[in-house]
Amino acid sequence: MNYIPVNEQDRKEMLSRIGVNSIEELLSLQIPEYLRAKKLNLSEGLSEQDLLALFKKYAGKNKSNLVCFRGAGVYDHFVPSLVEEIVGRSEFSTAYTPYQAEASQGTLQAVFEYQSMICELTGLDCANASMYDGATSVAEAVLLAVRTSRKNKIIISSALNPEYLAVVETYTKNLDIEIVKIETDEKTGALNKNVLESKMSDDIGAVVVQSPNFFGVVEDMQALSETAKTKAALFVTVVNPVSLGILKTPCEYNADIAVGEGQVFGNQMYLGGLTFGFLAVKKALEWKIPGRVVGQTVDKNGKRGFVLTLQSREQHIRREKATSNICTNSALNAFAGCVYMSCLGSSGIKELAETNISKARYAFNAIKKLDGFEPLFSDSFFFNEFIFKTAKNIKKIEKALLKENILGPLNLGAFNKKYKNSLMFAVTEKRTKQEIDKLTDILNRA
Amino acid sequence: MNYIPVNEQDRKEMLSRIGVNSIEELLSLQIPEYLRAKKLNLSEGLSEQDLLALFKKYAGKNKSNLVCFRGAGVYDHFVPSLVEEIVGRSEFSTAYTPYQAEASQGTLQAVFEYQSMICELTGLDCANASMYDGATSVAEAVLLAVRTSRKNKIIISSALNPEYLAVVETYTKNLDIEIVKIETDEKTGALNKNVLESKMSDDIGAVVVQSPNFFGVVEDMQALSETAKTKAALFVTVVNPVSLGILKTPCEYNADIAVGEGQVFGNQMYLGGLTFGFLAVKKALEWKIPGRVVGQTVDKNGKRGFVLTLQSREQHIRREKATSNICTNSALNAFAGCVYMSCLGSSGIKELAETNISKARYAFNAIKKLDGFEPLFSDSFFFNEFIFKTAKNIKKIEKALLKENILGPLNLGAFNKKYKNSLMFAVTEKRTKQEIDKLTDILNRA
Amino acid sequence: MNKLLNEIKSNRNENRIVKCDVPYDISIDDKYKRQKNHNIPNLSESTLLRHFTNLSRRNYSLSTTFYPLGSCTMKYNPLVNEKIAKFEEFSSIHPYQPEDTIQGTLEVMYELERGLCEVSGMDYFTLQPAAGAHGEYTGLLIIAEYFKNKKEKRKKIIVPDSAHGTNPASAALAGFEIISLKSDENGIVSPENLKEILNKDVACMMLTVPNTLGVFEKKISEISEILHKNGSLLYYDGANLNAVMGIVKPADIGFDVMHINLHKTFSTPHGGGGPGAGPVGVKAFLKDFLPIPVIIKENDKFKVSSGGKKKSIGKMKAFFGNFPVLLKACAYIKSLGGAGLKEASEQAVLNANYVLSSLKDKVSIPAGNVCMHEFVLSSKGHLGEGVKTLDVAKRLLDYGYYAPTIYFPLIVEEAMMIEPTETESKQVLDEFIDVLSKIIEESKINPEVLRNAPVNTYVSRLNEVEAARKPKLHW
Amino acid sequence: MNKLLNEIKSNRNENRIVKCDVPYDISIDDKYKRQKNHNIPNLSESTLLRHFTNLSRRNYSLSTTFYPLGSCTMKYNPLVNEKIAKFEEFSSIHPYQPEDTIQGTLEVMYELERGLCEVSGMDYFTLQPAAGAHGEYTGLLIIAEYFKNKKEKRKKIIVPDSAHGTNPASAALAGFEIISLKSDENGIVSPENLKEILNKDVACMMLTVPNTLGVFEKKISEISEILHKNGSLLYYDGANLNAVMGIVKPADIGFDVMHINLHKTFSTPHGGGGPGAGPVGVKAFLKDFLPIPVIIKENDKFKVSSGGKKKSIGKMKAFFGNFPVLLKACAYIKSLGGAGLKEASEQAVLNANYVLSSLKDKVSIPAGNVCMHEFVLSSKGHLGEGVKTLDVAKRLLDYGYYAPTIYFPLIVEEAMMIEPTETESKQVLDEFIDVLSKIIEESKINPEVLRNAPVNTYVSRLNEVEAARKPKLHW
Ligand SMILES: Cc1ncc(COP(=O)(O)O)c(C=O)c1O
Ligand SMILES: Cc1ncc(COP(=O)(O)O)c(C=O)c1O
């Protein structure tokens, strides 16, 4: 099976214009025989119907559509139909990066609108078109901070999502950058301003803090930012955009760079494979940021239009001196985020955040009442994710929940022995009261 | 919940321009108080998420996606992804009937292409844009035949799909039209030319024959048509368009009108609710046909374009003298048919027919070998549907099949006592060898 | 780029769709066999995607533009309903599946029926009719059957001259003779006129409320009384139900039979000409005449009942009706709820009056200064030399609007029927008002521009006369 | 109609998406609480559908037009793959679900890995990289780790001057210094030149085969030998793999590491700028350096393995990679099969040569008269007074074509890089050839037309200089 719209007759005519007898001849003119490959050892092609059947079979091997109380970086939020409808339009999905601006005003204006909404949400001045995901956006933020501060020592909260931390470590490993980790308080799960203060010195380029942090705890960003600024370090925040409907904005606590994972805005979970990283900065850093940026301009007739801009930062122009090697990014996922944000609007995003927090608190309070469950950080302020220690058998709990099609909390012990017996719950707006009650009930009986 | 994009502030400004204080005032100016309704007793509105959950609940009460060996008018054919993609484009689905031609060239050209392909398929000269379904297209064909022949006695094969027959009876009941049924041969399940001949007389306006008929048997249309023509009656054929990839065309046996159900071309089964009737005629009947017709023309600059035409036949102009009362038809379903036909092309439609017949014969031959199953019409030529008499317990068979997610053959006894113990099987290209073998196996063990 | 399918050449070698995994077995007696090959090109999927995607871009549609097409209620078609309609649990159902395997499907239909009954006040509904006209036809057959059953010979139906063309056409199809009733300049029926033409031959009168001019029939009670006293029935053409949900129930104000266009009031998309659905509601005394099958609920189980309905008019369509349309309409009712439906109608009325108020000084509004969900204006005397309503309509296309319904109802000269619906914002209406006003001015200053319109569409004005004179109906 | 989101006013009253069915519990200490409201308009779904649908109509895209964008392999993106990618069984999976609940997902990734290995000849693949550049970066980190492990200090990477910008940029990011290698006018690397600059500092050389001029590197074996003898490795930038599937395997001809752009060769759509996927393949000796986690098959069960990989470069992206892209690519391989993939490459080569042959008398083709899947032309000296390649590109937009890649590779003046791909028909190519020839003529007769192009697009030529001078990056 193939998608080739050329038949034998066409092929003959084409070969004859070229002046060869066969495609084989065309190839042999260019490729020495001894370099040629043998027949590919792959299964035979499939008809559309058989292909669907094969992938239905694969699909059937998953236990899917679970009621999800698991987060840790990827969250089960509701995706409005509008997002799928728009993002699925082939004019968006089958276009390339908008090199020809005049023929790409759809994509370009959408990116401009996306950038605008990210700026609104974070309060910062300039957002790029997207990075691959939250993890790489943190890594790029670190590089940006090093570039800007001209200091190669970066403090990072150890409560940064461990996947992100791993990526930052990979990205920086060959670049003579020193990562200094600071630990969170054992009691609160939050960073302690004094601890940060004790690590600050003039050679620190930036302080990177995630809030809500990996444990779900909201940090006192104001205090941390002020502490970072005492030594003129940049303050880099890693934020869950859903939380920005209600939590203090990066701008409000004077962050220089805000990054994060956008999957929560209009993208399904897909094994964590439908992601985009957002990256926003203060005006001063505008010309230093990585990735594509869209700007407004006018056409010959003075009509408003949009183009890729600040391009001299980029690899296709500056090559090894570019601010990043990124080329293809996560445009369509960021576009889903764009449609999602517009679909909710300011008031909807606020309600979204409020609903998340309300449901998470409802679940937290219900679980707290159960025998055998104790909050790991009892007095901390969390957003939509929290941790309980339990004396119960975690494997058994997971099984009991799965039997009822519930993907229960994450066993933090699997990440870090320090957190043995700790379960991390994520509760989004998508979880109904009924589902939460059922979870609580099963936990109770387990 | 509602979809209203107007808030209180807007509303105030609007009311003030109108010069009233409230919508209520606007209503009370026009509607006497005593005519006003009480509060609607309906459940509260639902959010998008809750609505989806409710309908997932309904959906879950169906036993769906069965391996379908049932036909009798609605068939389980494969629908290519292209059809869904195109038909789902909102520019097509959310447009109205193309009254403003210049702003509707997409729909209009598509209908023109649809008409063209129906003409290609049937060999006739003119097709309309669609009727509601196969049944109403037969009914409209009868009315058209009466109108054209000016004779109100119509012969109809009793092997016409009983649902269609019922609709024809409803449509003709108040119109002084006499329906004469002719029976099929008990042995062959087909009409006998001599029987038709014996019923023919000068006052017969038309002869209506379905082929493959309700029993799946292909009629000798040539002979029947010739017989009808001996008395100058119109020959009206009801055809399964899939079969036209291989069977003689209405044109080839000199039919005047060809109608049928288009669901088989690109529309899912949906309880028999995603249908369109096609209706094609010879040139001479062009001005008499019911429904919308699209024609080619040119614009002011000589550029090709398409418009609704022959409109003076229609209700909005001719009112009670119109050729039909139809207004809204089944445009989008017919469009699915259009995309489907184009997706297969001539050679694909031929292969489709050949695959249907091959698979049906494979199943027929396998079942024939089983104890307790005997073909009802052993020597007749069938397309993709056939009947077996069985001594086995039909209820038990159905149950056993359903347990394996197979929707087995139709129990004809439920339609007509005459066919007690008869099972009608439909086998389309969508059924795999494996599925047919499984069916046979279960039948054998039942 | 402007090719017809048959002008495209992208010949694929093989078919990706159909595959035969049993031995080919296709020997056929020549007398059954197709001789001539048809000429449908064998094109690649990529070619076809491009062809049809580009075609789609030549359509104005509700998803791209304001569509103030009077009488058609081009309101927003919620996407979530489309999504629900795609559930395989609904799409893969065969109509002859056993009842207990389609309980979900039947429940949806049952719930829709109940919802329509509540909105309309009727006691029973059939969901079988496929469109408004089909619903009219069904309703009139029910009425015919009712009288047949009463052994009354009533062969006439009164239809106001302002009615939609399908009303008389359906009546004729149902075997009735039509008596056309002259309405006043508001499209309103006067009880006096009615009395004059009424007699024992009259089976029923068909009415639209509000009427096609957007005017609520104030004397409806009187009219109903007159008809019912005469033994005649009253039929409600539900095309304009979007004006009165939660405000007036047709059954309460005297109607006996009605249809509803789900593709109008209940927001299912129109598909460029269908499929729609035209459920028919009746009062209890007409129940037995409804088409078969009907869906009933017994001990929390849903059943399909066809038998024992001797009086039924029979079947109007194979199987059950346009199920996906029914499904979307049911979802619409569930999502809005009672309050939402009423808000919808109220806002529809507000929007129409807002546009009317804003235009009333620039055109004539024969039916006066308030309206229900739509209104009809006459451009006569308000346009420049030689400019017609048709030209205004075409010029609107140039500004990116679909045109309102024109030259309907027939009783208004140079009519333009505007129905904004409730799902348009004040901003959209303001801009439309501005543009229409501007066009009216333009017609005086530069009438040629209107007569040459449209110029911004894919084709300029098309020659309809030529199309009908020498019909070219296929490639 | 040309509004930005924040200029639209269609204020809805309520939110239809989010609903809270537990008691509101939102008290927050002020120090955590957002003070300023953001300014994202609250618009209705109907308004947004129209806004974004209209935006979509301002894009050229593969689904509407020929898109001969060299180096980008804009081949047809099969719809069935999109459909498969939407299966809820895949979309609803959380990355931390237990292995035994995601066997289907893991099997898809495993099958894709196997398929890519077969096509490329490599022994192992990681699917984690999110795009081509990310793949380069991954591959170079693997190479760096390999040398670290061998305790060799090799800090340099050779990149030909014809290479894509991401090559040097990725190398820099991986901590390498770049040695630019001058290639000949065909973009071909000469073994002699290579030898001259080679030394023990060189970790690897990056090559694209065929190169960015569409020329197959005939001396690849010699180059490979030179490098390997020096202890250096050879990196394959797989952006041009569409030329050689089933024809040449990169691993066979001397490459040690490579990435593949699934959004090019394996037909996943480009999404207006991603997401793509850039799986990286390595020969067995580099296996241990691959990113974690890896997917392994044990006793017919699929497992995710992260541990025991001490040598791994670590993680390149959170979780597993861009799964929906991987899924589509896997479906593509399964649907074409081995023969289909080879046919695809063969036809891609034929199509490119057909266009080349048809244009060769009208422009310069620096790399000669045959090519692989794409070719680069130079318009220098073939256009009218003052007309540039840029103008030709813009004029192509007027004729409804997306423009080829221009001014790349950097070594060709006034370059235009044309890659037709295998999914275009002869008719499409013929028409494109005609139009391009016509434009070249036009440039001589009427150069202004080109300099003013485009005129048929939604906006005319945009001022990029102004955009960068006074950046306006949000509303
Ligand atoms: C007033 C009125 N009655 C009846 C109809 C006919 O409805 P349908 O087109 O669904 O058959 C229409 C539709 O245009 C209408 O506006
Ligand atoms: C030759 C070449 N290398 C590398 C890349 C980078 O790939 P990506 O955009 O997927 O990061 C491209 C893409 O344009 C390319 O053409």
Mean pLDDT of C419-439: 98
Share of chain A above pLDDT 70, in %: 100
pTM for this predicted structure: 0.98
CB-based contact C323:C94 (threshold 8 Å): no
Strands D375-378 and C415-418: unpaired
Residue nearest to atom 14 of ligand 1 (CA): C72
Q: What whole-number distance in Å separates Cα of residue D158 and Cα of residue D171?
A: 9
Does D54 touch chain C if contact means CB atoms closer than 8 Å? yes
Whether the predicted pLDDT of B330 surpasses 90: yes
CA D55, D59, D61 angle in degrees (round to 5)? 135
Percent of chain C with pLDDT over 90: 95
CA angle D464, D465, D471 (to 5 degrees): 85
End-to-end Cα spacing for chain D? 17
Contact B238, B164 (CB under 8 A): yes
Residue range D252-273, pLDDT digits in tens: 999 999 999 999 999 999 999 9
Q: Residue range A51-72: average pLDDT?
A: 98
Q: What is the mean pLDDT of residues A234-247?
A: 98
Q: What is the pLDDT of residues C208-234, one digit of tens each?
A: 999 999 999 999 999 999 999 999 999
d(CA D392, CA D442): 10
Separation of CA A141 and ligand 1 centre (Å): 60
Distance CA A110, CA D236 (A): 34
Q: Is C10 on the interface with D (CB under 8 A)?
A: yes
Residue B378: burial class (beta carbons within 10 Å; 0-12, 13-18, 19+): exposed
pLDDT recorded at residue A87: 98
Give the pLDDT score at D390. 98
- The predicted pLDDT at position A410 comes to 98
| CB contact residues (below 8 A), chain B span 382-441, against chain C | 398, 402, 407, 410, 429, 432-433, 436
Please state whether beta strands D177-181 and B373-375 pair in parallel, antiparallel, or not at all (unpaired).
Answer: unpaired
Structure tokens given for A36: 């040629």
How far does residue C304's CA lie from ligand 2's centre (Å)? 60
Q: Is the dihedral of CA A88, A93, A98, A103 positive or negative?
A: negative
CA B420 and chain centroid, separation: 27
What pLDDT, on the 0 to 100 scale, is given for residue A414? 87
Q: How far is CA C377 from CA C364, C366, D231, in A?
A: 6, 7, 86
Give CA–CA dist D82/D49, Å, rounded.
Answer: 21
Return the pLDDT at C276.
98
What's residue B379's pLDDT? 87
Amino acid C308: pLDDT: 65
- Taking the C-alpha atoms of residue C255 and residue C120, their distance in angstroms, rounded to an integer, is 10
Task: Give me the mean pLDDT over the D116-120 stretch.
Answer: 98
CA dihedral C61, C64, C68, C71 (to 10 degrees): 30
Q: What is the pLDDT of residues C354-364, one digit of tens each?
A: 999 999 999 99
Model pLDDT, residue D474: 97
What mean pLDDT value characterizes chain C?
96
3-class SS string, B161-216:
CHHHHHHHHHHHCCCCCEEEEECCCCCCCCCCHHHHHHHCCCCEEEEEEEECCCCC
Which tokens hold the place of D135? 């793949």
Residue A222 burial by CB count (10 A; 0-12/13-18/19+): exposed, middle or buried?
middle
- What integer best gives the mean pLDDT of chain D? 96
CA distance to partner chain A, nearest, from residue D428 (Å):
10
Q: Could you tell me which of C422, C427, C428 has the C-alpha nearest to residue C76?
A: C422
Ligand 2 lined by D74 (C-beta under 6 Å): no
Interface test with D, best of B2, B8, B14 (most D CBs within 10 A): B2
Cis before D454 (ω within 30): yes
D-chain residues near B3 (CB < 8 A)? 16, 44-46
The band of C11, judged by pLDDT with boundaries at 50, 70 and 90, is confident
CB contact under 8 A, C10 and A5: yes
* Sequence letter at residue C282: V
Four-CA torsion A128, A131, A134, A139, nearest 10 degrees: -100
- The pLDDT assigned to C1 comes to 55
Ligand at minimal distance from the CA of A132 is 2
Q: Using a CB–CB cutoff of 8 Å, tell me whether A8 touches chain C.
A: yes
> D215 φ, ψ to 5°?
-100, 135
Residues of C in contact with A50 (CB under 8 A): 19
pLDDT at B45 over 80: yes
The DSSP symbol for C280 reads: E
What is the pLDDT confidence band of residue D38, given thresholds at 50, 70 and 90? Answer: confident
Closest alpha carbon to D120 in D106, D104, D139: D139
C164 lines ligand 1 (CB under 6 A): yes
Radius of gyration of chain A (CA): 25
Q: Which residues, 6 or more positions from A228, have their beta carbon under 8 angstroms from its beta carbon? A: A155, A196, A200, A204, A206, A207, A234, A235
Chain A residues lying within 8 Å of C47, measured CB to CB: 5
Q: Is the pLDDT of residue D15 over 80?
A: no
Report d(CA A169, CA A136) in Å as an integer.
11
Residues of C in Cβ contact (< 8 Å) with A9 = 11
C-alpha torsion sign, points D351, D352, D357, D362: positive
Q: What is the mean pLDDT of chain A?
A: 97
Please give, rounded to a whole number of angstroms, the shortest distance from the CA of B433 to a CA of chain A.
12
Nearest CA to ligand 1 atom 12: C239
| pLDDT value at residue D1 | 55
What does the angle CA C280 – CA C281 – CA C283 come to, to the nearest 5 degrees?
145
Beta C415-418 vs D202-207: how paired, if at all? unpaired
Whether D76 contacts chain A with CB within 8 A: yes
Mutate to test the interface with A, among B49, B81, B84 (most CBs of A within 10 A): B49
CB-based contact (8 Å) between D97 and chain C? no
How far does C80 lie from chain A, in Å, by closest CA? 6
pLDDT tens string B291-314: 999 999 999 999 999 999 999 888
Are D64 and C45 inside 8 Å of each other by CB? no
- Over residues A290-327, the pLDDT tens digits come to 999 999 999 999 999 999 999 988 888 889 889 999 99
Taking only the tens place, the pLDDT of each residue in C246-265 is 999 999 999 999 999 999 99
What's the pLDDT at B310?
A: 93
Segment B178-189 shows an average pLDDT of: 96
- When pLDDT is averaged across residues D102-110 and rounded to a whole number, the result is 98
> Is A211 a residue whose pLDDT tops 70?
yes
pLDDT tens figures, C457-467: 999 999 999 99
List CB contacts of D249: < 8 A, sequence separation 6 or more.
A37, D119, D120, D121
B415 — pLDDT class (breaks 50, 70, 90):
confident
* pLDDT one-digit tens code per residue, B130-140: 999 999 999 99
The answer to whether residue D63 neighbours chain C at the CB level (below 8 Å) is yes
One-letter identity of residue B144: L
pLDDT digits (tens, 9 = 90+) for D316-331: 999 999 999 999 999 9
Chain D residue with Cα closest to B80:
D80
What are the DSSP calls for C219-263, one per residue?
A: THHHHHHHHHHTT-EEEEEGGGGGGTTTT--TTTTT-SEEE--TT
Binned at pLDDT 50, 70 and 90, residue A415 comes out as confident
Average pLDDT taken over every residue of chain B: 97
Burial of B284 (0-12, 13-18, 19+ CB in 10 A): exposed
Compare A435 and B1 and report the one with higher pLDDT. Answer: A435
Chain pair B-D, CB pairs under 8 angstroms = 51
Q: CA C474 to CA C65: how far, in whole Å?
A: 30
Among all residues of chain B, which has the CA nearest to that of A78?
B49
What pLDDT is stored for residue D186 in this prediction? 85
**C300, pLDDT greater than 90:** yes
On chain C, the residues whose CB falls within 8 A of the CB of B255 are: none
Confidence of residue B416 (pLDDT cuts 50, 70, 90): confident
d(CA A316, ligand 2 centre) in Å: 10
> Would you say residue D308 has pLDDT above 80?
no
What is the structure's pLDDT at B202? 96
* pLDDT value of residue C140: 98
Ligand 1 midpoint to CA C238 (Å):
8
